[in-house]
Amino acid sequence: MRHNVRMSKSSQWIVGLNAVAAALEHDAEHVREVLLDAAAKNPRILDIEQQAQRKDIPVRRVTTQALDGVAGGLRHQGAAARYAAAKTLDEHALAGLVAAAAGQALLLVLDGVQDPHNLGACLRSAAAAGATAVIIPKDKAVQVNATVRKTSAGAADTVPVVSVTNLARALRELQSLGVWIYGLAGEADASLYALDLRGNVALVLGSEGEGLRRLTREQCDQLVQIPMPGGFESLNVSVAAGIALFEAVRQRLA
């Protein structure tokens, strides 16, 4: 596959300087080996090599053609790493994550996002906002793959990702834990900016084409919209996620 080069069910190749460096910094125990371009002059290549060697991770200097092969069409910038399958938590982790947030849980829920670049961008925004976790469904949605890791620029290794079997059930569990569930929908009457986002909050966004599914909508405490005076009906899901998350950040910092 062009966007997710898997070597087996338990490992995958991640490529690019930022993705490989982030994996070594945040989750080195799951990096199996690092491949670096033997002809590369970029000083970051040497930094990555030294970082891997300090952590006793095998490093091989290879040809550009070899890196092209494992990258599967992605821009590798002279670095690739064979990485254990992406770390995701299951729904049993939700209670502990919310409890640890001590009344300030900020959760991003993505209902069926299909594009790995969108998921990666959402993870990056979530990490920057200090989100408690990102929740995704296991079925009919992209999972954390090589493209997601590269797009997230390391965020996939820093923000907890919870993959749930039944999203509506997970939202009900969050409600039982004292989390308010707000769904973003373009046709909603209420504004995102009218909400109090300072407590335990989950922000729910739908897929690129269909938006929120019916069962997801029904589980939300309230549907809200991002006001758009320019007349557009919708925003890219990763842009909308960033706006919603940082409105919560703005309120909490204030």
User: Tell me: the pLDDT tens digits for 91-113?
Assistant: 999 999 999 999 999 999 999 99
pLDDT number for residue 254: 85
Number of neighbours of residue 189 by Cβ within 10 angstroms: 9
Predicted TM-score (pTM) of the model is: 0.75
pLDDT average, residue stretch 214-234: 88
Known binding residue 181? Answer is no
Known binding residue 226? Answer is yes
pLDDT number for residue 13: 84
CA distance 243 to 247: 6
In percent, the amount of the chain with pLDDT more than 90 equals: 69
pLDDT number for residue 52: 96
Q: Which amino acid is at 81?
A: A
- Whether 91-253 and 6-84 are alike in CATH topology: the answer is no
Percent of residues in the chain assigned helix, strand, coil, to nearest 5:
40, 25, 35
**pLDDT of 5 above 70:** no
CA 6 to chain CA centroid, Å, is 19
Give the class (CATH, top level) of 6-84: alpha beta
User: Tell me: the pLDDT tens digits for 37-48?
Assistant: 999 889 999 999
pLDDT number for residue 232: 66
**pLDDT of 3 above 60:** no
User: Tell me: the pLDDT tens digits for 149-203?
Assistant: 778 877 887 899 999 999 999 999 999 999 999 999 988 999 999 999 999 999 9
pLDDT number for residue 9: 47
**Helical spans, DSSP H, in the chain:** 17-26, 43-54, 64-71, 94-100, 116-128, 146-152, 167-176, 214-219, 237-253
Q: Among 5-9, 81-85, 181-185, 201-205, whose mean pLDDT is lowest?
A: 5-9
Q: Among 22-31, 55-64, 236-245, whose mean pLDDT is lowest?
A: 22-31
Name the residue among 120, 178, 122 with its Cα closest to residue 149. 120
Question: How big is the CA angle at 205 (ends 200 and 208), to the nearest 5 degrees?
Answer: 165
Task: Quickly state the pLDDT bin for 10 (edges 50, 70, 90).
Answer: low
CA distance 85 to 11: 5
**pLDDT of 74 above 90:** no
pLDDT number for residue 156: 80
Domain boundaries, the chain: 6-84, 91-253
Superfamily of domain 91-253: SPOUT methyltransferase, trefoil knot domain (3.40.1280.10)
Number of neighbours of residue 197 by Cβ within 10 angstroms: 20
**pLDDT of 61 above 90:** yes
pLDDT number for residue 231: 67
pLDDT number for residue 2: 32
pLDDT number for residue 4: 32
**pLDDT of 139 above 50:** yes
CA distance 201 to 132: 10
Known binding residue 206? Answer is yes
